[in-house]
């Protein structure tokens, strides 16, 4: 399918990588002044229209969207105007409902209050696993976790205290100091079990309950670097399906970065860096449809880190743990048959923000991933555009996608 794109401006997320640290910091400070207005303007926009030539995909409300919306309304008594859109593929190739895990970072509440709130929302029972983490049990989908997102502090909090042991006394002092230092900066984190898509409305209701209780997000303090992360289960683990999703994400990553308006503190702390331009150029090539081994090897050679906007290490560790562990030894890589989307901010204290904002943007990736012919056409268009370099045209790649009808907002 032919896609006409004339703009040649360099791909924005990859331009950032070329800037010096000083320029990046200065840019971040400027962005921090403007980001509230920009985010609000983005979030006020209505559902996107996704269309290319004779394809026309609108994120209109369907029966499943209404079911999610109504379920949310029944739980918290509030009718919502923002709908959680559903992907084209609702089940896996084994006929099971697709699921997604959600991770929400915030502070402004005590750990005890956050644990109690989550337990109340899901009607679960609390099981303390340490002084700084707990499980919420009795959910049919699995256990929820609520914790301070600080590995060393959690490890210290899981040991028994013995006031008569000098070494234990020293560790108690270290634990106390770490807690005092980390409280203003380190987020609390809620980690859901893999939830059926029809339960996403419950996560939306949980976010509202947290906001009403005083939870704060990444924009509340200049040093906060809080995110919201998705772990969507793939409809199939066939290599061609994985490649389609990866290509779709890379083609839309410029637009997703603009939509997320990633907080400058998160940029400077390198939580979700974009993929290198050369690697992106390699993957989007219409001829790139590798075997599983080649896909994993290529990824590990270019990205031996969790620090990517779309982290594929958990998926690849699930498919071939030995191959991944030969290159990546990070204990935080947990094998699972999901993607790990790390880009969105947690803007939990913003009443215009909720799960629907980043989730509905992700749905555009889901829809593009189902169109191999479109992926090849856009891949060639982006490759040509990157190869040509800068031009008099001032549009970014995201604006080019809008210009040719791929996205409308």
pLDDT tens track, the chain, 409 positions: 555 444 444 444 433 443 343 334 344 444 443 333 333 333 333 333 333 322 233 333 333 343 343 334 333 333 333 589 999 999 999 999 999 999 999 999 999 999 999 999 999 999 999 999 999 999 999 999 999 988 888 888 888 876 556 566 777 888 888 888 777 778 999 999 999 999 999 999 999 999 999 999 887 766 667 889 999 999 999 999 999 999 999 999 989 988 877 655 555 555 668 899 999 999 999 999 999 999 999 999 999 999 999 999 999 999 999 999 999 999 889 999 999 999 898 999 999 999 999 999 999 999 999 999 999 999 999 998 888 774 545 567 877 787 666 676 5
Is there a contact between 205 and 72 (Cβ–Cβ < 8 Å)? yes
d(CA 63, CA 176): 52
- 3-state DSSP of 225-258: CCEEEEEEECCCCCHHHHHHHHHHHHHHHHHHHH
Burial code (b: 16+ CB inside 10 Å, e: under 16) for 322-345 equals ebbeeebeeeebebebbbbbbbbb
DSSP 304: -
**Read out DSSP for 72-101?**
HHHHHS---SS-----S--B-TTSPBPEEE
- Give how far the C-alpha of residue 375 lies from the chain's centroid of Cα atoms, to the nearest Å: 22
* Terminal CA-CA length for the chain: 23
User: Quick one: pLDDT at residue 269?
Assistant: 56
DSSP 10: P
Is there a contact between 122 and 396 (Cβ–Cβ < 8 Å)? no
Q: Which residues pair with residue 106 across a beta bridge? A: 188
Is there a contact between 180 and 83 (Cβ–Cβ < 8 Å)? no
All residues at 6 or more sequence positions from 361 whose CB lies less than 8 Å from its CB, including other chains: 48, 256, 259, 260
For residue 364, what are the CA distances in angstroms to 259, 341, 399? 12, 14, 15
């Amino acid at each position: 399918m032919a896609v006409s794109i004339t703009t040649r401006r360099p791909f924005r997320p990859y331009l950032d990588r070329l800037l010096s640290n000083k320029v990046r910091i200065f840019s971040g400070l400027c962005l921090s002044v403007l980001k509230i207005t920009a985010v609000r303007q983005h979030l006020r926009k209505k559902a996107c229209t996704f269309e290319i030539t004779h394809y026309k995909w609108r994120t209109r409300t369907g029966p499943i969207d209404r079911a999610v919306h109504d379920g949310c309304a029944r739980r918290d008594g509030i009718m919502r105007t923002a709908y959680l859109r559903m992907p084209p593929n609702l089940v896996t190739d084994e006929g099971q409902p697709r699921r997604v895990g959600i991770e929400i970072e915030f502070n402004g509440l005590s750990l005890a209050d956050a644990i109690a709130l989550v337990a109340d929302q899901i009607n679960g029972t609390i099981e303390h696993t340490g002084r700084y983490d707990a499980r919420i049990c009795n959910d049919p989908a699995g256990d929820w976790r609520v914790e301070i997102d600080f590995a060393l502090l959690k490890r210290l909090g899981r040991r028994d205290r013995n006031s008569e042991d000098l070494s234990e006394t020293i560790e108690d002092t270290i634990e106390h100091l770490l807690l005092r230092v980390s409280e203003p900066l380190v987020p609390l984190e809620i980690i859901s079990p893999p939830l059926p898509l029809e339960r996403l409305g419950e996560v939306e209701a949980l976010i509202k309950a947290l906001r009403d209780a005083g939870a704060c997000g990444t924009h509340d303090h200049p040093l906060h670097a809080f995110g919201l992360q998705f772990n969507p289960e793939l409809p199939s683990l066939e290599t061609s399906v994985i490649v389609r999703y990866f290509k779709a994400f890379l083609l839309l990553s410029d637009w997703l970065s603009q939509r997320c308006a990633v907080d400058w503190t998160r940029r400077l702390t390198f939580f979700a860096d974009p993929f290198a331009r050369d690697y992106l150029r390699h993957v989007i090539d219409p001829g790139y449809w590798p075997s599983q081994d080649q896909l994993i090897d290529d990824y590990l050679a270019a990205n031996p880190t969790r620090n990517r906007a779309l982290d594929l290490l958990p998926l690849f560790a699930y498919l071939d743990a030995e191959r991944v562990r030969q290159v990546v030894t990070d204990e935080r890589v947990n094998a699972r048959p999901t993607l790990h989307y790390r880009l969105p901010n947690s803007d939990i204290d913003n009443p215009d923000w909720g799960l629907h904002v980043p989730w509905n943007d992700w749905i555009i990736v889901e829809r593009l991933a189902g169109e191999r012919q479109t992926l090849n056409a856009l891949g060639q268009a982006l490759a040509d555009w990157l190869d040509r370099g800068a031009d008099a045209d001032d549009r970014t790649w995201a604006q080019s996608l809008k210009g040719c009808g791929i996205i409308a907002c």
